[in-house]
Amino acid sequence: MEDAHFNMLLEMPQVPFLMRPARPLTDEELERFCERQEVLHIEKEPNGDLDVRLIGGTTAGAVGGDVLCELYGWSKGSQTGRVLSNVGYFLADGSMRGPRISWIPEALWTEHKSRAEDGFIYGVPAFVVEVVSFQRTRGEWRSRMEMWIRNGVELAWLVDPFRKTVEIYRPGQAMEEQVGHSAVYGEGPVGGFVLELGKVWG
């Protein structure tokens, strides 16, 4: 039987907000809790706090959909991994994070499928794409991208549909901001992927 605190109703304070359960949720409880929220994006901080935010806006959703389709098309052709959208990952720092778009190698996908039950992935994506929306400030978005790299992501892009820029994050290197480019080119785990920005900016 689930604890009473697990069945709490969220009386919405100003979003975003941090929520601290009476005790840290287990991985399975966190998965079930997230499944019950239809309009909220929930992540777990390394200390167990829950970071609760509204889902992104329409512009970010449209741009994210375009990027997702382009990456999916490339990935199907390469047959080296899987493209996932809004999937949770249990990371090495103890947090659970859900990027807008991620790509994982086939080996991690096979490992996940071997679990008795579906749920969030234990591991880190090789490639992450986030799309700027009202969910976070610019500084928060950049901190988020650095978080992905610290946890083992090999390549991360922050796509900003409002400024029409792409920020590229790589381990051990300074962030590279691309302004006015017609395309952005994948490397490392997604070498060969080309995102035509004219399609994305629309």
Beta-carbon contacts of 195 under 8 Å, excluding residues fewer than 6 positions away, are 67, 70, 71, 183, 184, 185, 186
* CATH class of the domain comprising 58-201: alpha beta
CB atoms within 10 A of CB 45: 15
| pLDDT value at 20 more than 90 | no
pLDDT digits (tens, 9 = 90+) for 114-126: 886 788 999 999 9
pTM, entire model: 0.85
Return the higher-pLDDT residue of 84 and 25.
84
Rounded percentage of the chain residues whose pLDDT exceeds 70: 91
Delimit the domains of the chain by residue range: 4-54, 58-201
The CA distance from 127 to 113, in Å, is 19
pLDDT digits (tens, 9 = 90+) for 62-83: 999 999 999 999 999 999 999 9
pLDDT digits (tens, 9 = 90+) for 150-179: 999 999 999 999 999 999 999 999 999 999
